[in-house]
Amino acid sequence: MQEQQLLMIKYGELGLKGKNKNQFINRLVKNIERALADLPERKVNVSLGRITVPVLDDRDAVVERLSRVFGIYAICPVRTASKDLAAIQRAALATLSEALPNGGEFKVESRRSDKRFPMTSPEISKAVGGYIFAQTGDKYTAQMRKPQHIVNVEVRDEAAYVYCGSFPGAKGMPVGTGGRAVVMLSGGIDSPVAAFMAMKRGVNIEAVHFESFPFTSERALEKVLDLAQVLARWHNRPLRVHAVHFTEIQKAIHAVCPEEYGITIMRRFMFRLAEQIASRNAAIAIYTGESVGQVASQTLESMYVINNVTKMPVLRPLIGFDKEEIVARAQRIGTFDISIRPYEDCCTVFLPPHPKIKPRLAEAEAMEQNLALDELLAEALTRTKTYIVTPDGVTEQTDEFS
């Protein structure tokens, strides 16, 4: 057979899904196809525990796309060879020469899933290593414990595969296998990381953002949509952002509620609205970027009082992270530099000097008796705008909640 250059995709924990494994793998394949859709067409192949993608002259572009597809653990550039020892040896030497052009330490590891091949795995490794030494003299040395590179040889039913090294994948589960949820997306550092963590576990997300124009600027909304564009690269499909008009609610809270309870009541409204938007979009959970003790609304007492307004699961993937860990993840996924732009979100409007850190549920409920809850929620939804966000741009979707 003619030698081909492919990318072999390893998918880690998907292989442990038992009878449901094929559902997860099929979703991963669809997500890979979607990620590569605007590149020259090629067929994604699935065969006995391996996914392969042909490489044209665009390997770097393909690897870059695949590195953001959740469910992929490693991306291995491979050479194919016919199931003939001489062909495998030549492919192994070419692969090692590319990985270590100036020589160095290596070992050969072989696996033989096609038991019809006449050599055992140790015999293949020995023959391939011997060939490399015979062809290169003392350029390379064997190192069994900590080699610079491992030459992997896999003899499978359809062909032999040879590869040396890999690119890291995003890991996790394919988006679309974990249900649908809404993420409360502010312009800060934490919530985009929470969105990323949701997607990493296969959750298909929609974002809910609360804006308080004119107290917050149009730049604050632009900042959130820019964050959504970064997240859309990981989402592997368009991401919808529901921008909720929150100004009248905040003005009403400020007018009738004690200022130390302002944040608590505000968050209770946010959760009510997030639940309604989730229900209208077949979502079954709410994600937030909260971390215990980080701010007044994130004490356990505050979370209990705020959570009380929704029956929907509220998931907090950053709950045990400190700020330094969250910042590191934000930098890694590409949201940090946007999050620190100096355009504040609605949480800074009417911010009290001493917010209540241990609110009481009965007190919060009594204060809300002075608010026209249903009318305020209905108006906020009616004035909500929905944006369709892709890595390349933003379009507005009108009349969704009117």
184 is known to lie in a ligand binding site: yes
Which residues, in sequence order, are CB contacts of 42 under 8 Å at separation 6+? 36, 53, 54, 56
DSSP H helical ranges for 236-372: 247-256, 262-280, 300-307, 323-333, 336-339, 361-368
Task: Report the DSSP pairing between strands 74-81 and 140-142.
Answer: unpaired
- Which of 66-70, 272-276, 282-286, 289-293 has the least mean pLDDT? 289-293
The answer to the question of whether 210 is labelled as a binding residue is yes
Q: What distance in Å separates the CA atoms of residue 284 and residue 270, rounded to the nearest whole number?
A: 16
Query: What is the arithmetic mean of pLDDT over 143-162?
Result: 91
Is 196 annotated as contributing to ligand binding? no
pLDDT tens-place string over residues 232-265:
999 989 999 999 999 999 999 989 999 899 999 9
213 among the known binding-site residues? no
Mean pLDDT of the 113-127 span = 94
> In whole angstroms, what is the distance from residue 44 CA to residue 163 CA?
18
**69-86 pLDDT, tens digit each:** 999 999 999 999 999 999
234 vs 9: CA distance, rounded Å:
17
State if pTM tops 0.85: yes
Query: What does the pLDDT read at residue 313?
Result: 96
Residue 171 CA to residue 72 CA, distance in Å, equals 5
Is 117 annotated as contributing to ligand binding?
no
